[in-house]
Amino acid sequence: MSNNFGLIAANTSRTRAYLAALERHELLPCWVLLLDDGSLESTAGQSSESVMRPGLSGLVSAQGCWSEIDFDPAAPLIPMLERLNLSFKVVASRDINDPTVIQEISQCEPSVLIYSGYGGALLRKEALTSGKRFLHVHGGFLPEFKGSTTNYYSLLSDNTLGASAIFLTADIDCGPILARQAFPPPKDLKLIDHIYDSAARARVLVDTLSAFNQSGDWKVELPENIGGDTYYIIHPVLKHIAILGKRI
């Protein structure tokens, strides 16, 4: 079942987590724009059969808040999209603000696009005035934790991870908050970057889309996403302390 929203996808574990969760909950997008930074060539011709990375097989039975960890972080994306019978287009750019990307976005049918592009990119005026709204799930509990690698900072601060669904604006992580959730620390903190961060975001994404499908409207939990602190890429030493389960 396809729904009236699209997906802007990068070749990342987060995109794989999203697609697995959306398939599981029958919330698949009606259209996908796949940003290709050249890495897709390395997976060309691979099977779409899921082969879990060593060490992940014991995680897939988790329930509750970590229920969305059941995905293959290395599955080839194009075979996955083909298996799901999704309409998709590949653009040879990793930049959401590339004129070719903006043209595709402007011409697509859905008015709301889930943003799962490459990290660190800020939407410029051309994207934000394209007539589309960009639904993004930030890896952090908003408004308290804005910016980059915030889940490591929240682990150090209060021993939680977070994810928050927002509509993107020109300001970093300042759009209206549709849904958010704080998560307890997972069993293996070394798997945050490619497993648990993606799973947390997928959980909040599913909740956001499910609420929309039930009501027909985008419910906003916190219209004024103000305050909090903006963080920058965490220092490796602090990251290691967070992975060790320490608090400061």
Task: Verify cis geometry, omega within 30 degrees of 0, for the bond prior to 223.
Answer: no
Is the per-residue pLDDT at 246 higher than 90?
A: no
Confidence of residue 1 (pLDDT cuts 50, 70, 90): low
Q: Which of 41, 43, 75 is nearest to 56 (CA)?
A: 75
Q: Which of 110, 18, 33 is nearest to 71 (CA)?
A: 18
What is the CATH number for 185? 3.40.50.170
In-domain check, residue 144: yes
User: Is there a contact between 176 and 166 (Cβ–Cβ < 8 Å)?
Assistant: yes
63 class by beta-carbon count within 10 Å (0-12 exposed, 13-18 middle, 19+ buried): exposed
216-229 mean pLDDT: 94
1-10 mean pLDDT: 86
Q: Which of 225, 220, 95, 101 is nearest to 169 (CA)?
A: 225
In-domain check, residue 68: yes
In-domain check, residue 102: yes
- Over residues 11-64, the pLDDT tens digits come to 999 999 999 999 999 999 999 999 998 888 655 445 444 434 434 444 544 456
In-domain check, residue 9: yes
Q: What is the pLDDT of residue 65?
A: 75
Structural domain harbouring 161: 2-243
Q: What is the pLDDT of residue 127?
A: 94
What does pLDDT average to over the chain? Answer: 89
Q: What is the pLDDT of residue 42?
A: 54
- Print burial letters for 206-241: b (CB count within 10 Å at least 16), e (below 16): bbbbebbeeeeebebbeeebeebeebeebeeebbeb
In-domain check, residue 227: yes
In-domain check, residue 88: yes
In-domain check, residue 218: yes
Binning the chain into helix, strand and coil, the percentages to the nearest 5 are 35, 20, 45
191-219 mean pLDDT: 95
- Over residues 148-169, the pLDDT tens digits come to 999 999 999 999 999 999 999 9
In-domain check, residue 248: no
Number of domains in the chain: 1
- The more confidently predicted of residues 234 and 47 is 234
Q: What is the pLDDT of residue 39?
A: 85
Q: Which residue has the tokens 């103000």?
A: 226
Q: What is the pLDDT of residue 58?
A: 46
Is the per-residue pLDDT at 112 higher than 70?
A: yes
